[in-house]
Structure 1
């Protein structure tokens, strides 16, 4: 089953923008595949302004959120999985929606060794991986 998290994030994003507020997301930077400027990370998290006027080329797909943003005048490419989002909220009043932290995708030792060697060889940035999750029941109130 497809996670409802990206759908809820997109819905909250639209609601916040429609109310002329500024949408921010809080992201777990330790989640695999997250690419953000590390100098702005605090306690393993970063808060990002994702208002359409603050970012370029915003794409919020079911498996990957990506956009370009400027940090101290330098444009950077940002990538993260919707599973890494801990909250989306309006800067002006804090209204929004928190999300429980997701379990990190399980990796076998062989896969981790391959990934590290590939990154070292190509000098590439971390790319989000498709997680194989075990089925679980989530209670929605």
Structure 2
């Protein structure tokens, strides 16, 4: 039993909250994204998509194959620019989860895993707190959805171009006799 003045040692809440928010986002038909602190060499992501030490990953069922959210890691396979990658993220590197469509989500406190981050990145300053409102403007690496959706959902990282205009006239078939 714990001493009255000793705080009780509990397991981190992050993996539980990450799984719960992932399920909530998917159940509501939205696209889950995670913000990852990719400054450590322990974080296995395609480095060309890392911007300012962070990467945003689409972890929807159509983009992330074999997604596993365990208590100490997140793993999945995805395609970036048409190339397959195996992604491995220590739980301490996951900074937030949110819905692409509504930006609703949850930021995780950095102090929950402070001792892990210091062990792997002793000379790197801790990231500043992240607002989910600013996540939409950060580097987004939307993996290709693969054959399930037919064409790539890859968004160019760092591009601020508007999407191409949609045709205003609906296509129609004409019967020729």
Whether TM-score is above 0.5 comes out as: yes
Please state how far the C-alpha of 1:69 moved relative to its aligned partner.
Answer: 0.3
Quote the Cα distance in structure 2 between the aligned partners of 1:37 and 1:106.
22
Q: 1:61 maps to what in 2?
A: 70
Alignment of 1:69-84 (within 5 A): 69-84=78-93
Please state how far the C-alpha of 1:96 moved relative to its aligned partner.
Answer: 0.4
Could you say what the CA RMSD is over the residues aligned between the two structures, in angstroms? 1.3
Unpaired segments ≥5 residues, structure 2: 1-9, 121-177
Please state how far the C-alpha of 1:105 moved relative to its aligned partner.
Answer: 4.3
Please state how far the C-alpha of 1:100 moved relative to its aligned partner.
Answer: 2.1
Quote the Cα distance in structure 1 between the aligned partners of 2:37 and 2:119.
17
Q: Is residue 119 of structure 2 the alignment partner of residue 106 of structure 1?
A: yes
Q: 1:41 maps to what in 2?
A: 50
Match for residue 86 of structure 1 among 95, 101, 108: 95
Quote the Cα distance in structure 2 between the aligned partners of 1:62 and 1:75.
25
Q: 1:122 maps to what in 2?
A: none
Please state how far the C-alpha of 1:53 moved relative to its aligned partner.
Answer: 1.0
Quote the Cα distance in structure 2 between the aligned partners of 1:24 and 1:49.
4
TM-score (norm 2): 0.58
Unpaired segments ≥5 residues, structure 1: 108-141
Query: SS in structure 1 opposite 2:119?
Result: coil
Quote the Cα distance in structure 1 between the aligned partners of 2:28 and 2:64.
18
Higher gyration radius (CA):
2
Quote the Cα distance in structure 2 between the aligned partners of 1:81 and 1:16.
22
Q: Which has the higher strand share?
A: 1
Quote the Cα distance in structure 2 between the aligned partners of 1:99 and 1:32.
21
Quote the Cα distance in structure 1 between the aligned partners of 2:98 and 2:88.
19
**Greater CA deviation, 30-39 or 83-92?**
30-39
Q: Deviations over 1:105-139 (max 9, x none)?
A: 426xxxxxxxxxxxxxxxxxxxxxxxxxxxxxxxx
Query: SS in structure 2 opposite 1:106?
Result: helix
Q: 1:118 maps to what in 2?
A: none
TM-score (norm 1): 0.72
Alignment of 1:26-37 (within 5 A): 26-31=35-40, 33-37=42-46
Q: 2:32 maps to what in 1?
A: 23
Aligned residue pairs total: 107
